[in-house]
């Protein structure tokens, strides 16, 4: 019992030393983009006053008032990191989501504990997989615009990117 404990302690020390010797995570964000989308409610609810105009006839826009941001998170450092949250001016709520097939149905759910970005590695956020979910859009997101995203990493801190809006 005692031997096991000592051994565990040794392993822990080694891991700690290794962590100390490694460089910090160096996060960069490649090819960020945001899916074009319309905010909802206005058309469906008969357009209250103050309607921005120019929206007549856009009945092909999908309902929902949500969008998503995609990108490749690259870590050139020798220590792993984790995207723990994100925010943007254009949405009320921003969540980190994962899309998966459950009983042949596409479902998405918040990622528990954030999105890991391995040391000297990368993780791709793409349609049908991991994404930054924008919920409750405050305005329409039209192709050609730019959305500023603030990404919060566990170790690297805050990274801000300007993501172009485009059609999927
Ligand atoms: Cu989602």
Residue given tokens 């921003």 in the structure block: 94
Contact 155, 26 (CB under 8 A): no
Sorted by where each begins, the domain ranges of the chain are: 23-46+60-166
DSSP string of 64-99, one letter each residue: SSEEEEEEEEEE-SSS-EEEEEEEETTEEEEEEEEE
pLDDT value, residue 63: 44
How far does residue 52's CA lie from ligand 1's centre (Å)? Answer: 27
How far away, in angstroms, is 19 Cα from ligand 1 center?
Answer: 33
Q: What is the mean pLDDT of each run of 10 residues along the chain (168 residues)?
A: 54 52 85 93 38 39 75 97 97 95 92 96 97 95 97 97 96
Dist. CA 58 → ligand 1 center (Å): 23
Instruction: For 23-46+60-166, give the CATH class.
Output: mainly beta
- For residue 18, the model assigns a pLDDT of 52
35 C-alpha to ligand 1 centroid (Å): 12
Give the pLDDT score at 101: 87
pLDDT at position 137: 95
């Amino acid at each position: 019992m005692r031997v096991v404990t000592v051994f565990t302690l040794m392993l822990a020390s080694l891991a700690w030393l290794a962590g100390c010797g490694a460089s910090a995570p160096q996060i960069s964000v490649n090819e960020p983009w945001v899916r074009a989308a319309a905010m909802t409610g206005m058309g469906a609810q008969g357009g209250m006053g103050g309607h921005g105009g120019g929206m007549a006839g856009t009945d092909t826009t999908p309902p929902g008032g949500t969008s998503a941001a995609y990108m490749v998170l690259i870590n050139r450092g020798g220590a792993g990191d984790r995207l723990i949250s994100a925010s943007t001016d254009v949405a009320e709520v921003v969540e980190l989501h994962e899309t998966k097939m459950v009983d042949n149905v596409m479902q998405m759910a918040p990622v528990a504990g954030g999105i890991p970005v391995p040391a000297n590695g990368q993780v791709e956020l793409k349609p049908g997989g991991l994404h930054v979910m924008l919920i409750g859009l405050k305005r329409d997101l039209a192709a050609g615009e730019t959305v500023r995203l603030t990404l919060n990493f566990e170790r690297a801190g805050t990274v801000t990117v300007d993501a172009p809006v485009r059609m999927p």
